[in-house]
Chain A
Amino acid sequence: MSRAALLVLADGRFPAGGHAHSGGAEAAVKAGRITGGASLEDFCRGRLHTAGLVSASLAAAAVLGLDVRELDAAADARTPSPALRAAARKLGRQLLRAARATWPGDELDAVAREFPKGAHQPVVLGLAARAAGLEAVDAAYCAAYESVSGPASATVRLLSLDPFDATGALARLAPELDRVVDRAVEAARRAVDDGVDALPAASGPLLEIGAEAHAAWAVRLFAS
């Protein structure tokens, strides 16, 4: 494997549609829950330990070869908001396109055939990592980091926040990100024997509720 492939996959400019999504930040900004660097950090911490942990474990499990259909159903079960399920599938489809063009192979082609409208993004992320020759821990890092980097860059645009404040928040979360990745990979390894029910099911109810409200706005900058 080439560890450097992780940099390609984790690059914020990897063309897989993420730029149009705020990871719940737009709804949280409107609700007054994110107003600056400190509250952005709090928001990201919450997202990391809930949606981030779940995404990281799904991605790691996909690298370890768990059944894609079961993982996709597990992601559905862990995503109460229909708007977030739709966004996750849309992003999964976009990521699959980019991954197939970047690391062509039969496994990704088969997933595209089975899920023409997209599988959940973290599951596809794991499969993309696998196609790139990466390991479960790499996919988990990528998913966990995306769970906080997306809201951070969106908040820079939404609040005209000082970009150094946003980047500082991400850097301060790094040690926690390590721990979340450890937990995610451990759970994914358990799921190899015990099935997808061994994967974490942490959830941030405000993220889900906010996503439903956001999807109904007439005017918004981000798709989710």
Chain B
Amino acid sequence: METIPEVVERISQKIEAKGVTVDREKVRSKLTLLVEEFGIQIEEAERTVTNELLREHNLFTPPSSGQEERAISDVTPGDWVTVEGKIVSLAEPPSSAIAQSGIIADSSGAVQFVVWAKAKAPTLKERTWYRLEAAVVDEYRGAPNLKVHSGTKVTELPEDRPLMPSVVPIASLKPGVGSIRAKFIEEWEPRHDRMLQTGLLGDESGRIKFVLWKDGEREKLEPNGVYTFYYATVDEFNGRLSLNLGTAMYIPEDGDIRVSTGGETIQGAFVHMGPGSGLIKRCPVEGCNRVLSRQNYCPVHEIQSSFRYDLRIKGVIDNGKKARNVLMQCETVTQLAGMTLEQAIEIAENNPLGLDDVLIQLQHHVMGKYLRCAGSDIDGTFLVKECGRVQCDASLHASLINRAAASQGDDAA
């Protein structure tokens, strides 16, 4: 094992090689403290003291792997990188351990970044170009995230370079940061006090849920308006993407977009009718619309004296390979079971079994039946827009007979 004086000498020479005079007594006392008082391995203590002195004299140079200069679109978790980019957005740091967070972009793309409070880095200004040397890329919520730590060298670049964000179709968004041109197609009721607005955006390629938080002075989107959104954060949750506009810039655009219906058709047997099906009562409070319990209790507005009736079916359509939750609104229920809302109310109010009788009649019409439904999948539930019974197909019958007969010879062989 090396002795303390040897290590003191080596550290001092290393620092002096950079043209600074070193107080050997100070080096010795630091090293002795670490090794003798704290029982730290001498090699580890040597590294710590060296780095501390380098920083003290502003001589710190990052490990060489961090010198590799990269286009921002190429950074991948696990890399040490050097990038040059423009701070296009700054957000409220979510924790006191974080000095700043936001988005940095170059002409190739954009990435979220975090400046640790411990990094003692200069405060980054929005709309300014910087060179970040030896930043670490890790993964946060499925997206690459650039970390500015104490070893990262931050240099402000004097010039403003042209920067044109590349706008992509919704279908090709990935977790991270993205820019899209889209239409505001559906507004949903905010489910949280901090939410300013939420709903669906769509373009020719698909649709995506978005959230606009109340932080900062944000303007609401106009329903059916077309916008270009620059540098929105793309989050992934349960395998679904959503767009956080907190970091985004959005500019209203002229023209219209033919939004993809995102539609698909599913077929299978209706095998289960779930709770919440049949005639239901909804909360009459403006904008609430929640389902009331049988005792007219709304989870938010408590006991209600009046209510609005609605008819729906929540169930499962199963094709033998996959069971899918489906939701049928009043119109579809009428189309399928031949029961209108008025008829359902009539049954419920004049029948001793009341609401249960509505349910029994609906079950009789749909349970076990083969259905074909057109609609779209929202968060794991298939919203049915149109629905009909499947008819027996004579040509399918014939082809199956042939298929069964044709290969018998093969199997026997």
Does B associate with A? no
B residues neighboring A (CB under 8 Å) = none
A residues neighboring B (CB under 8 Å) = none
